[in-house]
Amino acid sequence: MEGKFQSGFVNIFGAPNAGKSTLLNLLLGERLVITSSKVQTTRHRILGILTEDNYQIVFSDTPGIIEAKYKLHEKMMAQVKSALEDADIAIIVHDITKPMEELNDLMALIKLKSPAILLLNKTDRYSGDVPLVDLLAQYAAAYPKWDIQPISAKTKHNTEKILPLILEKLPEGPPYYTGDNISDRNERFFVSELIREQIYTLYEDEIPYHAAVNIQAFEEKTTLTVIKADIVVSRETQKMILLGKGGSMIKQLGINSRMSITEFIGRKVHLELFVKVRPHWRDNENHLREYGYNA
């Protein structure tokens, strides 16, 4: 095996109906790792993991970002933004039969830092007045930093070009999910997201931004699943807020989280939460990876 391995998170987004699911099914094929459709976390959702000899691509999306009906709380919107910034690569799917303004409106909503690939989908349906090459030139002028690729997810026109575009940008690094523990790792990941979601619901403003959730133990016993999770903050004062008066807040957090995890994994759950103070944890790249913050 060659030495080089690439691994990273690819966040897919686009307007409803742009063709994201069709595209993902195509990219992942049989290798789709099914994740619960119930999971709609504040941050992101893993859609599937593509692992080959030399690379692993974790496809995720940011639920609800575009749907008008989905009323985003301001702080959730900030989460969404950071999720997009954090991904290694962004794939934007735009229906080429729709005006470019729709894409512009979408891009005005989010602050994208990741390298981006714009897939102009549904070329098979395009019959506009402007010739396709001219239209592509317009997109290229509007988004000069992006790779732009016209495709049809339906007829598979140009779709073989997508993977090489991703691999060009995918960072080098070890896989995030390995071998048999993929589903287990996924479950852990989702459990930490569910706890984060409850932190969002329960606490004010800045606390959710400063708290990371790290699953320390995930043990399947015969009648229940025992989960131990650290909530990591950087300051003692944040810990006090998380705990609440006489521990009342953390108790509530435990109750809420347990309910939502039980629903997710479909088993009885024993949940233990620990609040830990680690100054500067946000500054440390390895810690961030460890806590799933690069997803």
Ligand X SMILES: Nc1nc2c(ncn2[C@@H]2O[C@H](COP(=O)(O)OP(=O)(O)OP(=O)(O)O)[C@@H](O)[C@H]2O)c(=O)[nH]1
Asked if residue 14 binds ligand X (CB under 6 A), the reply is yes
Q: Which is nearer to ligand X, 124 or 290 (CB)?
A: 124
Q: Is 122 marked as binding a ligand?
A: yes
C-beta of 148: minimal distance to ligand X in Å? 16
Q: Is 20 marked as binding a ligand?
A: yes
Asked if residue 20 binds ligand X (CB under 6 A), the reply is yes
Q: Is 15 marked as binding a ligand?
A: yes
CB 47 within 8 A of CB 60: yes
3 state DSSP class of 151: coil
Asked if residue 44 binds ligand X (CB under 6 A), the reply is no
Kindly state the tokens that stand for 92: 């934007």
Q: Is 18 marked as binding a ligand?
A: yes
Asked if residue 62 binds ligand X (CB under 6 A), the reply is no
How far is residue 197's CA from residue 189's CA, in Å, rounded to a whole number? 12
Q: Which residues pair with 226 in a beta bridge?
A: 219, 270
Q: Which of 8, 19, 208, 292 binds ligand X (CB under 6 A)?
A: 19
Q: Is 208 marked as binding a ligand?
A: no
C-beta of 93: minimal distance to ligand X in Å? 6
Q: How would you classify the pairing of strands 224-233 and 212-220?
A: antiparallel
Cα–Cα distance list, 269 to 181, 194, 221, 230, 265 (Å): 20, 13, 10, 16, 9
Cβ neighbours of residue 45 closer than 8 Å, sequence gap 6 or more: 35, 39, 60, 61, 62, 63
How far is residue 111's CA from residue 85's CA, in Å, rounded to a whole number? 7
C-beta of 122: minimal distance to ligand X in Å? 4
C-beta of 51: minimal distance to ligand X in Å? 23
How far is residue 202's CA from residue 67's CA, in Å, rounded to a whole number? 24
The interface with ligand X within residues 105-164 (CB under 6 A) comprises: 121-122, 124-125, 152-154
Number of residues that bind ligand X (CB under 6 A): 15
Q: Which of 22, 54, 201, 294 binds ligand X (CB under 6 A)?
A: 22
Q: How many CB atoms lie within 10 A of CB 249?
A: 18
Backbone angles phi, psi at 136, to 5 degrees: -60, -40
Asked if residue 18 binds ligand X (CB under 6 A), the reply is yes
Q: Which of 16, 29, 128, 247 binds ligand X (CB under 6 A)?
A: 16
3 state DSSP class of 138: helix
Q: Is 174 marked as binding a ligand?
A: no
Q: Is 16 marked as binding a ligand?
A: yes
Asked if residue 98 binds ligand X (CB under 6 A), the reply is no
- Chain residues in the site for ligand X (CB under 6 A): 14, 16-22, 121-122, 124-125, 152-154
- Positions at the binding site: 14-21, 61-65, 121-124
